[in-house]
C-alpha cells in the first residue's frame, strides 16, 4: 500500500469518526429530550437509529470497509428521518433535521454520498411540507 492510499484511508477514518460523533450528539440529544417530554416511543426510535449507526461503524471498521460507512450513514439517517415523518407527523423540527443531514452528507467530500443525501433530502422536505399542508386542511 502506497502513501497516497494510506492517506486516503486515514482521511476517511477521521471523517467517519467526525460524522459519527456529530450525528451521535444530535441523536442522543433528541433521544434525551424525547424521554424528558414523555415521548418514550420517539426515544426508543432515536436509540434504535443511534445503536444501528454505532454497530455498523464498528462492523465496517472491523471488516476494513471504512469507505462504505459514509453511504450507510447518509442512507440510514435519511431513511429514519423520512420514516419519522410518517410515524410522528410532519413538523418544522424535521425540516431542520433534513438540512443537518445535508450537511452531514458533505463531511466526507464524496460526490455520490452528497448526491444521495441531496436527493433523499429533497424528497423528505417535499413530503414533510406536503403532509404538513394536508394536516392543516383537515
Tally of domains within the chain: 1
DSSP for 17-80, please give it: HHHHHHHHHHHHHHHHHHHHTT-HHHHHHHHHHHHHHHHHHHHHHHTT-GGGHHHHHHHHHHHH
Question: Contact, 51 vs 67, CB < 8 A?
Answer: no
Which of the pair, 115 or 1, is modelled with greater confidence? 115
Q: Which residue has the cell 436509540?
A: 47
* Of the candidates 122, 11, 12, 126, the residue with the CA atom closest to the CA atom of residue 71: 12
Task: Write the pLDDT tens digit of every residue in 26-70.
Answer: 999 989 988 999 999 999 999 999 999 999 999 999 999 999 999
Task: Judge if pTM exceeds 0.85.
Answer: yes
Label residue 137 by pLDDT band (50, 70, 90). low
Note the pLDDT tens digit of each residue in 72-106.
Answer: 999 999 999 999 888 888 777 788 888 888 888 99
Range of the domain at 83: 3-137
What value does the mean pLDDT take over residues 14-34? Answer: 93
Amino acid at each position: 500500500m502506497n502513501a497516497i492510499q494510506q492517506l486516503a484511508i486515514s482521511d476517511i477514518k477521521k471523517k467517519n469518526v467526525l460524522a459519527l460523533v456529530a450525528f451521535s450528539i444530535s441523536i442522543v440529544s433528541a433521544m434525551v429530550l424525547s424521554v424528558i417530554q414523555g415521548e418514550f416511543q420517539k426515544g426508543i426510535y432515536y436509540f434504535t437509529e443511534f445503536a444501528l449507526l454505532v454497530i455498523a461503524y464498528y462492523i465496517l471498521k472491523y471488516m476494513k470497509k471504512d469507505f462504505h460507512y459514509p453511504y450507510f450513514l447518509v442512507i440510514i439517517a435519511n431513511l429514519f428521518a423520512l420514516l419519522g415523518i410518517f410515524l410522528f407527523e410532519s413538523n418544522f423540527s424535521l425540516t431542520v433535521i433534513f438540512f443537518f443531514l445535508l450537511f452531514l452528507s458533505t463531511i466526507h467530500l464524496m460526490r455520490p454520498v452528497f448526491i444521495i443525501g441531496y436527493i433523499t433530502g429533497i424528497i423528505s422536505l417535499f413530503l414533510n411540507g406536503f403532509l404538513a399542508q394536508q394536516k392543516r386542511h383537515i
